[in-house]
Chains A and B, each alone.
Chain A
């Protein structure tokens, strides 16, 4: 797994770390129970502040992608049906907001469908 952060991006670094780890879970690079590098080690390797990487790890825990077990942060993929249901609700809401914005900007249905199809093909390629 490669974690890379853009130091000058407007996206906060802790969000970039969060996204990188989530994307590795999505791709299958990280599996259930895999140990993540400690937040301290990650901060050193990326040349950033410890609080930044720690914030990313806290967010991973809150979102149910990781948990602390024996002082190590491990990946947790499945957290039961209620967690999945809750997330599908959030996904639908977020998507609706974006689609409404797109429509307000005059983007047509076909174009949005194309964009979604491209993303889905990339993420679910296996």
Chain B
């Protein structure tokens, strides 16, 4: 089996399943990216829209699935199957966007927000402290694995041949060799350290994300979101450990301690298992912890007070653009986790940094720099 093909098929299935289950994962007052008042969550047309959305995604995915199976027979280029994933993502988004527009129209025509007091709220002090500190303990496995990799490498280094493999073909055989230098031999260790440092920064950013409370249940949602932040950080740090194990495996094959062709699936397995655990876990607790069971202790007397109708800041139902909001990271509208406020200058600095880190190595590789 061609690894690119296997990756494409599993990604393809993952995208389809995530899209089909996503309507159950978002908070009850954000339906297909549309903010609705709590009194409307039971509207029968929402269930109908959900069914047609799921049918649309399933149908589109089936078509792309056929493409995925047939294209490799026509074109010998295995990367063509990656193209099918982009088609699937585009079509799934269009189905989502259509559903978003349909619900938005119902909401606008029937004036769901007439006479509503559009509010936002926050609860203090935040429940922080010991639980967040525990999440950081999960960095330890990664540090141990990196140290172990470096130790094995240091032991093996004197016995390495003058030329070591630095690139492997899709068949798992080395196809590019480089002279043995500390930079080449320990490349994976540097990447391990870099990836781990970056994910720790992401974890810190997550711990500082803002409250996005349902003003009709402020206390309950603040507890859910605090748990959601902690679980996301834990999942992220655990995934980091799994990724580090994969890079340990790659290092072993670079140093010739294991033969890559036999063990390729085994090397990739830890990362895939880690990612699978993370995805299933996050889907189960719901976006912003909306599916975590917490005691309801909010007395909500004034039913006109609801969350702000903020649809206008979500361009295309997916991109957040609100110059009046000082937050950089905001909860995704239709998904699990966070996205950027594209009206915030810090967002653009981060985007530029990401693009630079992606482009600079390419410029070096092509000897432009």
Interface residues of A in 39-57 (CB under 8 A from B): 40-50
Minimum CB distance partner of A24 in chain B: B124
B259 interface residue (CB < 8 Å to A): no
Consensus secondary structure, chain B interface: loop
A37 interface residue (CB < 8 Å to B): yes
**Chain B residues within an 8 Å CB radius of A4:** 119-122, 215, 218, 305
A9 to B310, CA, bound (A): 15
> Are B325 and A1 in contact, CB atoms less than 8 angstroms apart?
no
Chain B contact residue count (CB 8 A cutoff): 25
B327 interface residue (CB < 8 Å to A): yes
A50 to B345, CA, bound (A): 14
Interface residues of B in 315-341 (CB under 8 A from A): 322, 324-327
**Chain B residues within an 8 Å CB radius of A5:** 119-121
Chain A contact residue count (CB 8 A cutoff): 23
B196 interface residue (CB < 8 Å to A): no
A2 interface residue (CB < 8 Å to B): yes
A9 to B305, CA, bound (A): 12
B308 interface residue (CB < 8 Å to A): yes
B118 interface residue (CB < 8 Å to A): yes
Interface residues of A in 5-62 (CB under 8 A from B): 5-9, 35-37, 40-50
A3 interface residue (CB < 8 Å to B): yes
A4 to B325, CA, bound (A): 16
> Are B118 and A46 in contact, CB atoms less than 8 angstroms apart?
no
**Could you say which of A6, A37, A47, A48 contacts B117, with CB atoms under 8 Å apart?**
A6
**Could you say which of B123, B125, B322, B326 contacts A43, with CB atoms under 8 Å apart?**
B326
> Are A50 and B326 in contact, CB atoms less than 8 angstroms apart?
yes
Nearest CB on B from A78, distance (A)? 22
> Are B218 and A7 in contact, CB atoms less than 8 angstroms apart?
no
> Are B327 and A1 in contact, CB atoms less than 8 angstroms apart?
no
> Are A3 and B327 in contact, CB atoms less than 8 angstroms apart?
no
Interface residues of B in 108-130 (CB under 8 A from A): 117-126
